[in-house]
Amino acid sequence: MNPLVGIIGPLAVVYCAAPLAMTMPFWALAFAGLLLSWAAFVRRLALPPLPSRPIKLLLVGGFLVLLQLQGGGLTRFAALAGLVTVVMALFFATPSKPRDAVQLAILCAVLLFIELIVSPSGAMFAHALGGCVVVAVVMTSGAAPSREETGRLLGRGVVFAFLGVPVAVFLAFVLPRFNGWFGGVFGARQATVGFSDDLSPGEVARLAQSDAVAFRVRFLNGAPKFESLYWRGALLWDTDGFNWYNAGDLLPQKVWGSGTDKGIVQEIFLEPHSQRVLFALDKPVLLSPHEDPDSIVGSEDFVFERKSPVMRAFSYRAVSQSLAIWSEAFESEPIVAMDAAHRAKALFLPHTKDAAALALVKTWTAGGASSETAVSRALAYFASGEFVYTLRPGRVSGLENFLENKRGFCGHYASAFAVLMRLAGIPARVVTGYQGGEYNAWGRYWIVRQNDAHVWVEVWLEDRGWVRVDPTAVVAPERLSEVRDEELDWLSRGMNGFSLAWDGFRFTAVSWLLGAGDQENESQVDEANGFAQFSFQDGQRILITLVGLFALWMIVRYRLRKRVRPDEALTAAYHEFCEALSRRGFTRERSWGPYAYRDFIVMRALSDVVAAVLVFDTYARLRYGAVPFDARDVASWRERAMKAAGQLRVVPHGGFVDRQW
């Protein structure tokens, strides 16, 4: 051990905890600060040492309870950082063994890890690189010989930190990332596939080939049936006759400041997709982000967007209510009549008169059929069996071409259906989003992937409002059914199971650490066991009192301690030792010095005398030697002496030892 570690230790804690200081609970900070200053000055000011291990463990336990109490106000990472800092300050700030130094270094690394997870930025990365040097310096100073120049010691730490560079480069190469390294280091990694704001029907096929995760969902109050897992994304109003887009010039955006919270509650963890659109179960009435509450805007059409593109993972809570859908019975709901502007927009078609399409639509509206009848007829037309669902329909140039070939997938069907509805005079619009998902039993949540991307249609029925119609569902019902495990071969099943387990672990850990879903659980717990009376403030007060008492106790100990010179202490300890020996039957003549007494004991002891001989020898060296010593040496001598005295047994009847020695 190098004595410098007494200074390096506290400094290392300060360096590594500094970036997290603001997120940590302040009492943790105050407590750690107190302990660190104590550790830093314990030698210089001859302060009493920190309390024993059981008391330290009790303090840590109390700290854990307080963290639990504060709960909701803290992310798990902030709590963890506070805990780690306090443990470091309590146990390892002034390592006394190389092993302690290693533990300190590891905890430093844990803090670096947390800070990089909490705020992955270039500045934080630079700090963490410095932190790697700190970690190495702590370890080298723990293992270095006690006489070593400071410069050399620190230099060696720097060298060892950067000896890691070649290995780091090597590992970066053997562990290639799908998205490449630099996207992550120099800015948030962006999703390479994802929705764009418009729909060219062919585009969905590109999405269908990616099994990248779009988002993960946890249902908090029960999941709906698989068939109704329609994840609503964007609404498209405008069309050129085949492609759909949003001119976005008409609809007023309404901020959903308040709304009902009755419905299906979901926690959604969205992967970055560089767009603004947010997904939720159809139809979402309320979206609230886990952080930054003002970042979401919603419209009257149950479409939610983020104010800025989602460049990093983003999580929010959504409340959805059941939407009127075509196949289900009518649900009475107050219908707000559509205004003229919207109606016009929902019926607008460019002037491309397609004779075949017009003829087709005429058959649906023939005989003054109602809108509902027309929709039924249209669905029956698509369900007739002539249409083929395929992700490789070949080139589809437009509506006419599609109706001729009768080959396509959801994009084509939704687009064509909506255009035909408008031709029939029924207001229609296209919805993009996802359908279905994969249930992960490991973490009890749903994974929605890019290949779950889906497009469907909403039509306006005068007495029901906007109703969801999914033409793909009638063309290819199997497209919308859940893939069961039994249908896969064993290898795929195994691989799938493994990747689900890993994803489950990942998701659970991340969502737990980010503290999502806490409020809900806590309020439930509070109601359940009446824990609510004991508030966080109470806990805080108790902790501050505890810390105050602790400080007071340390000060009192410091004040009460007698200032004894080491040589006096040694003499006193020697007398104590002699008394202990005479209690055990080795009575000392007053004139005997340590060596005479030692020889007497060697002659009279039945038991092993080596420990006692060494104790005498050390005493003589301390007492009469030229080497200075301090109170610690005396304390350790006293400890060994009393232990040795306890082991001695005298020969009975005052005889000498009659044994082989």
Partner 1 sequence: MWIDRVKTVLRGRDGRVYILPTAGGIVFLTALALFVTGAFAFDNDYVFAVTFLLSGTFLAGMFATHFNLDGIRVISVATTSADVGGFAEITVVFANPSRRTRRALSIRLGGTNDAPHEVLELLPARGKASILFRVPLPVRGVFAVPDLRVTTVYPLALFASWMRLSGSGTYCAYPRPVGTQRFPGGGDDGGKRRAADDDDFYGHRDYQPGDSLRRIDWNKRAQGRALVTRIFAREAAVKFVFSLRDAPGDIERQLSQLALWLREAFRARRAFGLDLPGISIPTASGREHLRRCLRCLAGFGGDS
Where along the sequence are the contacts to partner 1 (CB under 8 A)?
98-99, 101-103, 105-106, 109-110, 112-113, 116-117, 120, 124-125, 128-129, 131-132, 135-136, 139-140, 142-148, 156, 160-161, 163-169, 171-172, 175, 177, 181, 184-185, 189, 313, 505-506, 509-510, 598-599, 602-603, 608-610, 613-614, 617, 658, 660-661
Closest separation in Å from C-beta 457 to partner 1? 35
Cα–Cα–Cα angle for 69, 70, 72, rounded to 5 degrees: 115
Q: Which is nearer to partner 1, 174 or 329 (CB)?
A: 174
Nearer to partner 1, 172 or 552 (CB): 172
Which of 63, 59, 28, 67 is CA-nearest to residue 515?
Answer: 67
Q: Which is nearer to partner 1, 160 or 389 (CB)?
A: 160
The distance of closest approach from Cβ of residue 173 to partner 1 in the complex, given in angstroms and rounded to an integer, is 10
Q: Which is nearer to partner 1, 186 or 490 (CB)?
A: 186
Instruction: In angstroms, give the least distance from the CB of 376 to partner 1.
Output: 47
> Which residue type occupies 222?
G
State the Cα–Cα distance between residues 30 and 564, nearest whole angstrom: 33
Nearer of residues 435 and 440 to partner 1, judged by Cβ? 440
| Residue 480 CB partners (closer than 8 Å, separation 6+) | 227, 435, 436, 470, 472, 473
**What is the SS3 assignment for 140-208?**
HHHHCCCCCCHHHHHHHHHHHHHHHHHHHHHHHHHCCCCCCCHHHHCCCCCCCCCCCCCECCCHHHHHH
Residue among 579 and 617 whose Cβ is closer to partner 1:
617
Residue 141 tokens, joined: 């100073």
Task: Give the H or E element holding residue 468.
Answer: strand 465-469
Q: Closest distance between partner 1 and the C-beta of residue 440, in Å?
A: 14
Distances (CA, A) of 269 to 20, 99, 289, 427: 24, 41, 10, 33
Q: Check the CA dihedral 332-333-337-342 and report its sign.
A: negative
User: Cα–Cα distance between 551 and 35 in angstroms, integer?
Assistant: 9
Which residue lies nearer to partner 1 by CB, 26 or 505? 505
Query: What does 91-122 look like in DSSP terms, one character per residue?
Result: IISS-SSHHHHHHHHHHHHHHHHHHHHH---H
In whole angstroms, the minimum distance from the beta carbon of 661 to partner 1 comes to 5
CB of 113 to partner 1, least distance (A): 5
Supply the minimum distance, in Å, between the C-beta of residue 68 and partner 1.
22
* Distance in angstroms between the alpha carbons of the first and the last residue of the chain: 38
Judged by beta carbon, residue 232 or residue 598, the one nearer partner 1 is 598
CB of 161 to partner 1, least distance (A): 6
Cβ neighbours, 10 Å, residue 300: 12
Report the residue number, 330 or 512, with the smaller CB distance to partner 1: 512
> CA 454, 459, 465, 469 torsion: positive or negative?
negative
Nearer to partner 1 by Cβ, of 105 and 361: the residue is: 105
When the beta carbons of 547 and 657 are compared against partner 1, the nearer one is 657
CB nearer to partner 1: give 415 or 440.
Answer: 440
Nearest distance, CB of residue 283 and partner 1, angstroms: 31
3-state secondary structure of 238: strand
Which of 163, 255 has the CB closer to partner 1?
A: 163
Minimum distance of partner 1 from residue 629's CB (angstroms): 18
Nearer Cβ to partner 1, position 249 or 658?
A: 658
| Cα atoms found within 13 Å of the Cα of residue 290, Cβ hemisphere only | 23
Calculate the CA 75 to chain-centre distance.
9
- Phi/psi at 599 (5° precision): -65, -40
Beta carbon of residue 411, minimum distance to partner 1 (angstroms, whole number): 29
In the block, residue with structure tokens 């007071």: 552
Query: Are 402 and 416 contacting, i.e. CB atoms less than 8 angstroms apart?
Result: yes
Interior CA angle at 539 toward 538 and 541, to 5°? 65
Kindly state the smallest distance separating residue 646's Cβ from partner 1, in Å: 17
Minimum distance from residue 296 beta carbon to partner 1 (Å):
23
CB of 308 to partner 1, least distance (A): 20
Q: How far is CA 376 from CA 174, 371, 475, 615, 643, in A?
A: 58, 9, 14, 102, 96
Q: Is 92 exposed, middle or buried (0-12, 13-18, 19+ CB in 10 A)?
A: buried
Q: Which residues, 6 or more positions from 591, have their beta carbon under 8 angstroms from its beta carbon? A: none
* Cα(414)–Cα(426) distance, integer angstroms: 14
**Dihedral angle of Cα 341, 345, 349, 351, to the nearest 10 degrees:** 40
